[in-house]
Amino acid sequence: MIRCHARRAELFSLPMVDIHCHILTGLDDGAPSLEVSLQMAEMAIAEGITHIVATPHANSQFPFVSGTIRERREELQLRLADRLTLATGCDFHLSYENLRDIREHRTKYTLNQKNYLLVEFADFAIPPAIEQELHQLQLAGIRPIITHPERNPLIRSQPERLLQWMRQGCYVQVTALSFLGRFGGAAKQFVEMLLAREGIHFVASDAHNTTSRPLKLREAFDRVTALKGAAAADSLFRDNPKAAFDGQPLPYTPDVPSKLEPPSRASHDSSGKRRKRFGIF
């Protein structure tokens, strides 16, 4: 019993990195006030998160103004001092305007102004030339990360599209709350299937507030540990996110699955097998 409690305390003390969070004030549908931003930051600190990338939307509804984003980050960082490290990126929508702008201002949108980019798809349509657009981003030195595919009904119904993007060299980020059933049973089944097939590279909060969309990485970390093992959880919540934060190659890069079966037929392997394992940062 003492050994079990010691292991749980060790896991809880491990740092985590969140690469997708709408924590900055008044930029999109995320934190509506500085007070909420600070509350979200305190939740992150309490969960053991050491680094957060603030990723406001960049779409037709929410203009991406880099100067304002930088000011909001600096304001929040000043309040937090060195208790939490904040960087900026964005939730990048593949619009014509965004794609044209990123060719000229590559690091304006990337995580911590390095080389990884969160790419978001609309729920109602996938651009017909998406593979070509993703390839153009890669040619520009950008490493695309497909965000929350488990929450997108089009991708869930066409998992072969996600496989194609992974074979093309894209990475996959899922939402922590999906493991907890907060986005419904279909999203939960799909994300667990992806985990079983080693089709995930990052788990992030995609938090928008402290109530309906809170930071819940620690509870999701425990769930992933139960399903896939502690080594996989370490990679998805800490090692890979920290590498993306720093603009470095990912330490955990499993082979692309041969297929993604529908959730009802997916088997949940909990062996925790990994391809690579690097040390704690």
What is the average per-residue pLDDT within 213-233? 95
Q: Give φ, ψ of 50 to 5 degrees.
A: -105, -25
pLDDT computed for residue 278 by the predictor: 37
- 113 sits in the region (left: phi over 0; alpha: psi -120 to 50; else beta) called left
pLDDT computed for residue 264 by the predictor: 53
Tokens of 143: 């490493």
Is a pLDDT exceeding 50 seen at residue 117? yes
In a domain, 26, yes or no: yes
**Percentage of residues in the chain with pLDDT exceeding 90?**
78
What is the average per-residue pLDDT within 58-69? 92
Kindly give, in sequence order, each residue whose CB lies less than 8 Å from that of residue 20, ignoring residues fewer than 6 positions away: 53, 55, 91, 118, 147, 173, 175, 202, 204, 205, 206
Cα 219 to Cα 212: distance, rounded to the nearest angstrom: 15
Buried b (16+ CB within 10 A) or exposed e, 255-269: ebbeebeebeebeee
In a domain, 270, yes or no: no
DSSP string, 162-188: HHHHHHTT-EEEEEHHHHTTTT-HHHH
Please check whether residue 120 is in contact with residue 206, taking contact to mean a CB–CB distance below 8 angstroms: no
Q: Degrees (nearest 5) of the Cα angle 257, 180, 268? A: 35
Domain carrying residue 46: 14-263
Which pLDDT band, with edges at 50, 70 and 90, does 123 fall under?
Answer: confident
Which pLDDT band, with edges at 50, 70 and 90, does 271 fall under?
Answer: very low
Which is nearest to 280 in space by CA: 253, 255, 251, 254? 251
Tokens of 169: 């060299």
In a domain, 157, yes or no: yes
What is the average per-residue pLDDT within 217-239? 97
Tokens of 21: 């969070």
Kindly give, in sequence order, each residue whose CB lies less than 8 Å from that of residue 172, ignoring residues fewer than 6 positions away: 145, 146, 149, 162, 166, 194, 199, 200, 201, 202
Which is nearest to 68 in space by CA: 27, 35, 97? 27
In a domain, 123, yes or no: yes
What is the average per-residue pLDDT within 23-33? 94
In a domain, 275, yes or no: no
Which pLDDT band, with edges at 50, 70 and 90, does 281 fall under?
Answer: very low
Which pLDDT band, with edges at 50, 70 and 90, does 258 fall under?
Answer: confident
CATH code at position 43: 3.20.20.140
What is the average per-residue pLDDT within 88-99? 92
pLDDT computed for residue 25 by the predictor: 95
Other CB atoms within 10 Å distance of the CB of residue 233:
25
In a domain, 93, yes or no: yes
pLDDT in tens, 177-198: 999 999 999 999 999 999 999 9
> For residues 216 and 200, which has the higher predicted lDDT (pLDDT)?
200
What is the average per-residue pLDDT within 60-65? 90
pLDDT computed for residue 94 by the predictor: 86
Which pLDDT band, with edges at 50, 70 and 90, does 273 fall under?
Answer: very low
Cα 60 to Cα 62: distance, rounded to the nearest angstrom: 6
Domain count of the fold of the chain: 1
Reduce the DSSP state of residue 252 to 3 states and report it.
coil
**Percentage of residues in the chain with pLDDT exceeding 70?**
88
Which is nearest to 95 in space by CA: 121, 118, 73? 121
How high is the mean pLDDT of the chain?
A: 89
In a domain, 76, yes or no: yes
In a domain, 238, yes or no: yes
Tokens of 70: 């930088």
Q: Give φ, ψ of 31 to 5 degrees.
A: -55, 120
pLDDT computed for residue 4 by the predictor: 44
